[in-house]
Chain A
Amino acid sequence: MGMTITEKILAKASGKAKVEPGENVWLNVDILMTHDVCGPPTISIWKREFGGDAKIWDKDKLVIFPDHYIFTKNPQANRNVEILREFARQYDIENYYDAGTDRYKGVCHIALAEEGYNIPGTILFGTDSHTCTSGAFGMFSTGVGNTDAAFILGTGKIWEKIPESMKFVFHGKLPSFLTAKDLILRILGDITTDGATYRAMEFDGEAVFSLSVDERMTLTNMAIEAGAMNGIIAADSVIENYVHERTNKPYEIFNSDNDAKYRQVYEYDVSGMEPFVAKPHSPDNLDTVRNVQGTKLTKCYIGSCTGGKLSDFVSAAKLLFGNKAAVPTFVVPASTAVANQLEIETINGISLKEIFENAGCVIAQSSCAACLGGPMDTIGRAVDGETIISTTNRNFPGRMGSKKAAVYLASPLTVAASAITGVITDPRDFF
């Protein structure tokens, strides 16, 4: 019996020739990533458990991105960034990207890719559930809590149960009015928010390999919304080129064997699909955009590690070009690199930034912002009674702020189309 890509990577990291789903193994971790919300408690648990002269197992393998609560006056949130700053200074952490400096990057999962930390065949743990995003690079990546992260910080090791794999194959050519977001929403509708709990979600098929790196990250990013341990796409030449441009670290490409075992295989033909939304209050509350079109909106939001990448803004700008947003519309680039690209990328000679400005959008600084609500002064935060359409990843009650707000999740094309009309709108109306 062959192995899946996830099993092969976990076997290598646990020093075994073969692993089987259900088996508990100790893994050697290649990169540990943390941020301003979970970094400070991770550090304090690490100090508590490893004592005053605690040593980091390998400080070059620790990467810290303050990204969640950056542009806020909240004193405790600012204190958290100060704790990270002091820690990075004391322990001489090179891979610390301080807020308020020109090293600041923005949302960790996108910055990990941009800064060359995503390497095919390696193992990444992060104190954030969307750490699964990095699986788009043919690597194993998953989220853990502060305690597990503190354990890794001191030992470089962690236990995991080898997950069963589920495969999602997308055939056909993706129509121009669809994006990876529609595909992952469709999967969530089919398997629900616990449909992949403790499992690996592997994406395959020509439609997946035709996607850009950004778009592949949208698929793996939302694997956690189905409860998955990791999402993964085998690395191909598109990924290799992206990695080569950023790092010369060695990498290893793994592929699933033809006789690998899957718990389930789902096959889709993308050529017949239509744009989807997740209705309030769960990412698996699937419907077609057509079925909810006309729903009145108070706000549109384009941002986060799911929907704030360059490809998301290119999609949104295509529709917003020459149009005005009919409701307040927030543009939140996931990273500072994406924010810079908004000024460089053009459509018909006009930069994406100008397109959004001309449409009357509010362009915010790069961070997690209202994706997770955050402190009360967070830009774009949902308030009572709002109806929002967003390119983010979760719409559980209160996720974007008020529990009395209704949030629809959709692709950047659907959000842009809806911004123009002020009601939920099928992007096909603009094609």
Chain B
Amino acid sequence: MDKIIKGKIFVLGDNIDTDQIIPAEHLVYSLSDPEESKNYGKHALSGVPLSKAGLPAGGIPFIKNGSSESEYNIVIAGSNFGCGSSREHAPFALKVAGVKAVIAESYARIFYRNSVDGGFIIPYESIQKINDSISTGDEIEIDLMNNTLKHIESGKSFNLRPLGDILPIIEAGNIFEYARKSGMMG
């Protein structure tokens, strides 16, 4: 597990559901074929109405035409991120697009579990609302040891909720590695 995640942020609002993270018509691609699965990166966050993509200005596509990787590797959002369908294709799509962590005020349960158990992205909860005081394209640094987020330009720091019960699974890599380590799986 990285101790520091550094990168450029993409800012979103509340209630980003899994249909916005990866629209249903794209759920047909293989997730295990490395080439074909790039389609998930290509369409990641394509269901977000453009005016609400890349806040505060909006109108910023997460993925530039044709690419399967985003220039943004951290997503900052409001409450109830990942609500809606159970599709694991959602955290997977973010991972394929190059996202390392999401920081939201709260998560829907299935998305949260999928992110952790599948080892796709780290779902951090922010303690205060931050998606209204930070802009798409800003550089930040997440310190996983101290559970803080630092805004590089202003030097401002925000506290994140410690990962708690899920930390051992994140450290192990995914639920299978965790189960192997703890002797639950042969």
- Which A residues contact B (CB, under 8 angstroms)? 24, 37-38, 40-41, 44-45, 48-49, 69, 74, 76-77, 79-80, 127-129, 131, 143-148, 151, 154-155, 157, 161, 193-194, 197-198, 227, 229, 282, 372-376, 394, 396-399, 403
Decide if B86 touches A144 in the complex (CB within 8 Å).
yes
Decide if A197 touches B108 in the complex (CB within 8 Å).
yes
Known: A193-B83, A194-B79, A374-B25. A146 touches B88 (CB 8 A): yes
**With a CB–CB cut-off of 8 A, which chain A residues contact B28?**
69, 74, 76-77, 79-80, 375
Q: Which of B23, B27, B80, B89 is A197 in contact with, Cβ under 8 Å?
A: B80
Residue in B closest to A44 when the chains form the complex, CB atoms:
B32
0 or 1 for each of B19-34: is its CB under 8 Å from A? (1 = yes): 1100111011111100
Can you name 16 extra interface pairs (CB under 8 A) apart from A372-B85, A396-B17?
Answer: A38-B88, A41-B31, A41-B88, A76-B29, A79-B28, A127-B86, A129-B110, A131-B86, A145-B113, A147-B175, A194-B15, A373-B19, A373-B25, A375-B28, A396-B20, A403-B47
0 or 1 for each of B50-90: is its CB under 8 Å from A? (1 = yes): 00000000000000000000000000000110011111110
Decide if B49 touches A403 in the complex (CB within 8 Å).
yes
| Nearest 5 interchain pairs by C-beta | A145-B88, A145-B114, A76-B28, A194-B80, A147-B118
Q: A69 CA to B29 CA in the complex, in Å?
A: 13
Interface residues on B, range: 35 or more
Q: Which of A147, A161, A197, A398 is B47 in contact with, Cβ under 8 Å?
A: A398
Decide if A198 touches B117 in the complex (CB within 8 Å).
no
Q: A141 CA to B79 CA in the complex, in Å?
A: 25
Q: A155 CA to B15 CA in the complex, in Å?
A: 33
Decide if B19 touches A394 in the complex (CB within 8 Å).
yes
Q: A86 CA to B137 CA in the complex, in Å?
A: 46
**With a CB–CB cut-off of 8 A, which chain B residues contact A227?**
80, 83, 108-109
Decide if B84 touches A394 in the complex (CB within 8 Å).
yes
Kindly provide the distance from the CB of A124 to the nearest chain B CB, expressed in whole angstroms: 13
**With a CB–CB cut-off of 8 A, which chain A residues contact B148?**
none
Decide if A148 touches B114 in the complex (CB within 8 Å).
yes
**With a CB–CB cut-off of 8 A, which chain B residues contact A394?**
17, 19, 84-85
Known: A148-B175, A194-B80, A373-B23. A37 touches B87 (CB 8 A): yes
Q: Which of B80, B86, B91 is A143 in contact with, Cβ under 8 Å?
A: B86
Instruction: Name 6 interchain pairs, CB-CB below 8 A, sorted by A.
Output: A79-B28, A129-B84, A157-B184, A194-B80, A197-B107, A394-B19
Instruction: Tell me, yes or no, whether B174 is within 8 Å of chain A by CB.
Output: yes
Decide if B106 touches A197 in the complex (CB within 8 Å).
yes
Kindly provide the distance from the CB of B13 to the nearest chain A CB, expressed in whole angstroms: 12
Instruction: Tell me, yes or no, whether B185 is within 8 Å of chain A by CB.
Output: yes
Q: A355 CA to B123 CA in the complex, in Å?
A: 50
Q: Which of A41, A131, A229, A398 is B19 in contact with, Cβ under 8 Å?
A: A398
Kindly provide the distance from the CB of B136 to the nearest chain A CB, expressed in whole angstroms: 19
Kindly provide the distance from the CB of B105 to the nearest chain A CB, expressed in whole angstroms: 9
Known: A194-B79, A197-B109, A229-B109. A38 touches B86 (CB 8 A): yes
Residue in A closest to B50 when the chains form the complex, CB atoms:
A403
**With a CB–CB cut-off of 8 A, which chain A residues contact B106?**
194, 197
Decide if B87 touches A145 in the complex (CB within 8 Å).
yes
Decide if A376 touches B88 in the complex (CB within 8 Å).
no
Residue in B closest to A148 when the chains form the complex, CB atoms:
B117
Q: A145 CA to B22 CA in the complex, in Å?
A: 14
Decide if A147 touches B88 in the complex (CB within 8 Å).
yes
Kindly provide the distance from the CB of A271 to the nearest chain B CB, expressed in whole angstroms: 32
Decide if B20 touches A398 in the complex (CB within 8 Å).
yes
Q: A76 CA to B36 CA in the complex, in Å?
A: 11
**With a CB–CB cut-off of 8 A, which chain A residues contact B108?**
194, 197, 227
Decide if A399 touches B29 in the complex (CB within 8 Å).
no
**With a CB–CB cut-off of 8 A, which chain A residues contact B83?**
193-194, 227
Q: A40 CA to B174 CA in the complex, in Å?
A: 19
Known: A372-B19, A398-B47. A147 touches B117 (CB 8 A): yes
Residue in B closest to A378 when the chains form the complex, CB atoms:
B25
Known: A48-B32, A129-B110, A148-B113. A399 touches B80 (CB 8 A): no
**With a CB–CB cut-off of 8 A, which chain B residues contact A375?**
25, 28
Kindly provide the distance from the CB of A286 to the nearest chain B CB, expressed in whole angstroms: 15
Decide if B84 touches A376 in the complex (CB within 8 Å).
no
**With a CB–CB cut-off of 8 A, which chain B residues contact A197?**
80, 106-109
Residue in A closest to B120 when the chains form the complex, CB atoms:
A147
Decide if B15 touches A193 in the complex (CB within 8 Å).
yes
Instruction: Tell me, yes or no, whether B152 is within 8 Å of chain A by CB.
Output: no
**With a CB–CB cut-off of 8 A, which chain B residues contact A77?**
28
Kindly provide the distance from the CB of A219 to the nearest chain B CB, expressed in whole angstroms: 19
**With a CB–CB cut-off of 8 A, which chain A residues contact B30?**
40-41, 76
**With a CB–CB cut-off of 8 A, which chain B residues contact A146?**
31, 88, 114, 118
Residue in B closest to A371 when the chains form the complex, CB atoms:
B24
Decide if B118 touches A151 in the complex (CB within 8 Å).
no
User: Which of A40, A147, A198 counts the most B-chain CB atoms under 10 A from its CB?
Assistant: A147
Which residues of B from 113 to 171 have beta carbons under 8 Å from A?
A: 113-114, 117-118, 165
Decide if A374 touches B24 in the complex (CB within 8 Å).
yes
**With a CB–CB cut-off of 8 A, which chain B residues contact A45?**
32, 118
Instruction: Tell me, yes or no, whether B4 is within 8 Å of chain A by CB.
Output: no
